[in-house]
Amino acid sequence: MYDIIIIGGGAAGFFAAINAAEKNKDLKIAILERGKDVLQKVRVSGGGRCNVTHACFEPATLINYYPRGKEKLLEPFRKFQPTDTIEWFENHGVKIKKEADGRMFPVSNSSQSIIECFLDACSNNNIEILTNARVESIEKQEEEWRVIIGGERVLATKKLMIATGSDTAIWRLLEKLELNIVPPVPSLFTFNIKDDRIKDLMGISVEQATCRIRHSKSGNKSLDNFSSNGAALITHWGLSGPAILKLSAWAARELNEANYQFEVIVNWLGNTDMEKARQHLHQLITLQPKKNVFANTEFGLPIRLWKSLCTASGIGEYQKWAETGKKHLIKFTEQLTACTFNVNGKSTFKEEFVTAGGVDLEEIDFEKFNSKKHPSLFMAGEVLNIDAITGGFNFQAAWTGGWLAAQHL
Ligand SMILES: Cc1cc2nc3c(=O)[nH]c(=O)nc-3n(C[C@H](O)[C@H](O)[C@H](O)COP(=O)(O)OP(=O)(O)OC[C@H]3O[C@@H](n4cnc5c(N)ncnc54)[C@H](O)[C@@H]3O)c2cc1C
């Protein structure tokens, strides 16, 4: 008989276990992990550096990074937010640093620091860690929970926490406990595009692009509502970078419904709209008529992209601004500010990906991160229908949920 069993040896599970133990040393706590090693996602996270949180310290701003979970996270973030995360890790011997884009990492630049910190804290607090312990069944018997591992071993506990990430089998078990599950779909992915305009440009990035989605051939007009700003990166397979990843997160469900067949319209000039771009190009015809168009980039665009967009607009290699007529100007302006690509499928973004969907947030009391139907059942992390854009926000949701659950476990 345990006081607390936590199913899932990942970010949320460890954070909840350690905080519960530190609050009450007498509790008998176990973490059950199906794999042979714990914290595997933490290990690979952020390219092996673990992007633990983001330097965004205002809860009302922080929630805007969560396509799913936004409203429900406001109060929890008022209780445990990135400042608390940084302080927690520093108190446990892991110094955290901020990068220019706001992402925060251990100073060691290694996820191993986080793993060691958690394992040390478990050992100091006598938390049992059972690996190769896949939970196959959960039963509620009056005031206690029975957890069945590997078809035979039965453990009993007063309080149960589910921190299994995006595990479909556990969602099925939770459905049997009459919890509603929002169907899972991938989030944080890159767009597959085969197009001559970007074919040989992999590695080129535009710092401030605006990207928007246009409805697919299936006619799903709800897609037209999604747009984002930020860096756009041309890859082997198509487009990536923060602007694209943000779109993939915000439109995760709609893009899944469209079977990942849609159009993305890129304004390579960011906030410069079509009319302003046209006026700028028009001025160049007057101010520098003898200058070669092809070889002289404008708007700070990478020269290879500029040349490719010239070609797509019918502007030749030796063409001067004076030779650029109205037809070329219209086409070129369009390529610069409304460059339309057909997207055909998605690829995994290796640094971070998550699942949208999971336990319906209406099932959860966000003061305690427990089930409204079964108050002794706690949940945090990706098992819930909460996910964020890339940048350390997904872990922050796991820390916040794990910490709040621990206060009541
Ligand atoms: C490659 C990659 C990189 C990432 N990088 C970042 C990053 O840098 N920053 C960031 O904020 N987010 C990042 N994320 C997202 C982040 O890792 C997740 O949001 C976070 O790990 C969720 O924590 P969790 O505890 O809910 O789930 P997980 O970390 O997935 O842990 C769940 C655990 O439960 C175990 N489990 C599942 N089912 C069972 C079962 N039946 N019985 C026993 N155990 C079970 C699993 O094996 C797993 O160990 C990344 C994700 C990926 C895939």
Counting from 1 in the atom list of ligand 1, the atom nearest the Cα of 396 is 11
Residue to substitute in 6, 37, 38, 41 for testing ligand 1 pocket (most ligand atoms within 8 angstroms of CB)? 41
Residue with tokens 């009391």: 365
- Read off the tokens for 235: 């890859």
Distance 398 CA to ligand 1 centre (A): 9
Tell me if 402 CB under 6 Å of ligand 1.
Answer: no
Ligand 1 midpoint to CA 338 (Å):
37
What is the 320 CA–ligand 1 centroid distance (Å)? Answer: 55
Separation of CA 289 and ligand 1 centre (Å): 58
54, 350, 394, 400: which to mutate for ligand 1, most atoms within 8 A of CB? 394
Cβ 356 under 6 angstroms from ligand 1: no
Return the best residue to mutate from 6, 49, 162, 164 for the ligand 1 pocket (most ligand atoms within 8 A of CB).
164
Q: Whose CA is nearest to atom 50 of ligand 1?
A: 352
Residue 270 CB less than 6 A away from ligand 1: no
- Residue 26 CB partners (closer than 8 Å, separation 6+): none
pLDDT in tens, the chain (409 residues): 999 999 999 999 999 999 999 999 999 999 999 999 999 999 999 999 999 999 999 999 999 999 999 999 999 999 999 999 999 999 999 999 999 999 999 999 999 999 999 999 999 999 999 999 999 999 999 889 999 998 789 999 999 999 999 999 999 999 999 999 999 999 999 999 999 999 999 999 999 999 999 876 667 777 778 999 999 999 999 999 999 999 999 999 999 999 999 999 999 999 999 999 999 999 999 999 999 999 999 999 999 999 999 999 999 999 999 999 889 999 999 999 999 999 999 999 988 889 999 999 999 999 999 999 999 999 999 999 999 999 999 999 999 999 999 999 9
CA distance 318 to 301: 19
CA distance 378 to 368: 8
Mutate to test the pocket of ligand 1, among 45, 114, 149, 350 (most ligand atoms within 8 A of CB): 45
b/e burial code for range 329-340 (CB count within 10 A of at least 16 → b): bebbbbbbbbbe
Q: Is 33 in the pocket of ligand 1 (CB under 6 A)?
A: yes
Residue with the nearest Cα to atom 6 of ligand 1? Answer: 45
Closest CA to 46 of 114, 94, 95: 114
Ligand 1 geometric centre to CA of 325 (Å):
56
Q: How far is the CA of 42 from the centre of ligand 1 (A)?
A: 7
In the chain, what is the straight-line distance between the N-terminal and C-terminal CA atoms, in Å?
Answer: 15
What pLDDT is recorded for position 217? 65
Does residue 398 have its Cβ closer than 6 Å to ligand 1?
yes
Residue 351's pLDDT is 86
pLDDT at position 223: 79
Write down the pLDDT at residue 266.
Answer: 98
Interatomic CA distance for residues 238 and 122, integer angstroms: 44
Residue 86 in tokens:
């940084």
